[in-house]
Structure 1
Amino acid sequence: MAIFVHLTSAANAARIRRAGLRADSWARTGERGVYCFPVLPSFTVTHQWLRELARRGTRGGGMVAVHLRLDDDEPVLVGHYAGRGKHAARSATAAEAVHRIRELDDPRGWEVFVPRAVTAGEVRRVRAVPQGVGWRYFPGAHGTRPCTCFGCRVRGEYGGRRLRERLPHPLDGPDPKVPVLLERLAAAGEPGDPKEVAEVLYWFARRRRGPVEALIRLTEHPDARIREDLVWAVGGWRSPGVGELLERLAGDPVAEVREAAAQARSDG
């Protein structure tokens, strides 16, 4: 039997003990499943992903480690998170994945993906772990200048605003204000030029709250890409009406839109 560890918010611990791990992560292949890492002799390497995952926010008082046991012949994907070539994710059995990672000179950044949910019977234990373990941003990032572009920064991260003020990114200026974005959306016409609407949604996605009532008409936009962009733009908002908007899109005729809405609702 191969033993792995999955890291998650402490708020999920009771549900995981009761019902196991949901298949709510996505692999690059489009499959849904659970990310994990082999339990190795090094505690630090085993839990290397903790600080990077916690950087995106936790609930319930930090992160916990979920130990799971899989059959040696269980099919999984194994590779480096940014891997290309020989480091790209490849199919393997659970035992082969453990062996491959154990033999690496530097296993930082590697991961295993189980393309299914993990049952409660496969969860061996859920336990607290020190919250300062692992790397942030990328393996070996310590001592390098952090990037403050929109793609790298995390909304609400502790000290994020001070960091952006100290190290402003040359390509990311101030965001357009909401009235400006609504004017651009109105000028795009009805139902709205897809290119212009997509750019407006890009800016709305950078916000924590927004005017849901002004965007809900986009749930009927004829371009499915716009409807999917709408999910990612408002899915993380804490504004009234977000639940109703996502509920509409959960019944969308296009599978990609439905899946995006389901993901946003589960994350919320």
Structure 2
Amino acid sequence: MATFVHLTSAATAPRIRRAGIRALSQGRGSGLGSTGRGVYLFPVLPSYTLTHQWLRELSRRPGPGGLVAVHVKIADGEAVTVGRYNAREPVETTAAEAVRTVSALDDPRGWEVFLPRAVARGEVRSIRPVRQVNGWRYFPDAHGRTPCTCHGCRVRGEYGSRRLRERRPHPLDGPPPPPRVLLARVEAAEAEGDAVALREALRWYGLRRRGPLERLARLARHPDTAVRVALVEAVTYWSTPGVGALLRELAHDPHPDVREAVEDAMDALAP
């Protein structure tokens, strides 16, 4: 059995003990990583620092209670992908071979293993607290380089983040358009029946702290499931009154993808 660690919010620990690790992450590449969602792991190495190297980066968005390390055992022959975080086509291999590959590297920083399925409860061996100061931020050897302002790299509310985004705007990730522009896009997309444009407008809304909830709430009944999921993701962190009631309504959506998105939102907002 190959041993790996998965770093996640402490708020999810009770659910992991009950049911294992849910497959929420999208893999990379055109092969095994594109077949569906799964779980990112890292081999347990003799070095505590290298094993938990992703801590400092993930601690930028720790969730309630900080992070914990979930140790799992996967069958040696299980199909996984292994590669550096920015590899477009990670290598498809077995769990045991992935451990050997990473262990043999002179510098395994930034490497990861993707398991294209959920981790069952029986595969979870332990959930342990971890020191939150380990590892690197942004990417290995990032110190001294110009920071990236994309949505995946920046942290909402981080010191100086607004000035940085205004000085170095990202072409896809903002700052987002003004509210009146976004609302016009939503209304135009609805009129044309363009679900793709509607999801893109909601993605931009998700980068804002507030929004016209009373104008968007009707999308909770949109026939496209992906639009309803995008609505959940857009409003989750809004401070606009009524967000909780909307999420509770969507928690009873007939499609499991929407209900799962609401559950993830509730976990993220849990104190």
Q: Same fold (TM over 0.5)?
A: yes
Residues 222-237 of structure 1 aligned to structure 2 (within 5 Å): 229-237=230-238
State the identity as a percent. 56
Displacement of 1:24: 2.6
Match of 2:11 in 1: 11
Cα distance in structure 2, aligned partners of 1:93 and 1:217: 46
CA distance, structure 1, for counterparts of residue 35 and residue 259 of structure 2: 15
1:107-126 matches, within 5 Å, as 107-126=108-127
1:214 corresponds to 2:215:
yes
Report if aligned partners of 1:27, 1:113 keep a CA contact under 8 Å in 2: yes
**Aligned with residue 41 of structure 1, among 26, 37, 46:** 46
Deviations 1:191-239 (A, max 9, x none): 3463764554343121133223311334555777655644543354452
Alpha carbons of structure 1 residues 208 and 103: separation in structure 2 relative to 1, 3 Å:
same
Amino acid at match of 1:14: P
What secondary structure sits across from 2:13 in the alignment?
helix
Question: How far off its partner does 1:163 sit?
Answer: 4.8
Deviations 1:109-139 (A, max 9, x none): 2111222322333222211111111111112
Aligned to 2:25: 25
The match for 2:75 is 71
User: Which structure 2 residues correspond to residues 244-263 of structure 1 after superposition, within 5 A?
Assistant: 246-247=250-251, 250-251=253-254, 259=257, 261-263=258-260
> Is there any run of 5+ residues in structure 1 with no aligned partner, and where?
253-257
State the 1:251 CA deviation. Answer: 3.4
Structure 2 match to 1:242: 246
Residue 7 of structure 1, CA deviation: 0.5
Distance 1:5 1:121 in 2: 15
Deviation of 1:83 after TM superposition, in Å, equals 0.6
Equivalent residue number for residue 31 of structure 2: none
Question: Which one-letter code corresponds to 1:121 in the other structure?
Answer: G
TM-score by length of 1: 0.78
Q: SS state of the match for residue 96, structure 2?
A: helix
- Return the TM-score normalized by structure 2: 0.77
Q: Which runs of structure 2 are paired with 1:161-240 in the superposition (5 Å)?
A: 161=162, 163-164=164-165, 167-169=167-169, 175-183=176-184, 185-186=186-187, 188=188, 191-192=191-192, 194=194, 197=198, 200-219=201-220, 229-237=230-238, 239-240=243-244
Instruction: Verify the 8 A CA contact 1:24 1:263 in the aligned structure 2.
Output: no
CA deviation string 1:151-208 (max 9, x = no partner): 532223355346547x54386876444345435544x275346376455434312113
Q: Tell me the SS of whatever aligns to 1:106.
A: coil
Q: Matches of 2:176 and 2:117 in 1, distance apart?
A: 39
May I ask how many residue pairs the two structures share in their alignment? 255
Assess if the C-alpha contact under 8 Å between 1:216 and 1:245 holds in 2: no
Cα deviation for residue 31 of structure 1 reads 1.9
Equivalent residue of 1:95, what SS? helix
Match of 2:262 in 1: 265
What amino acid maps onto 2:9 in structure 1?
S
Looking at structure 1, the residues matched to 189 and 4 of structure 2 have their Cα atoms a distance apart, in angstroms, of 52
- SS of alignment partner, residue 102 of structure 2: helix
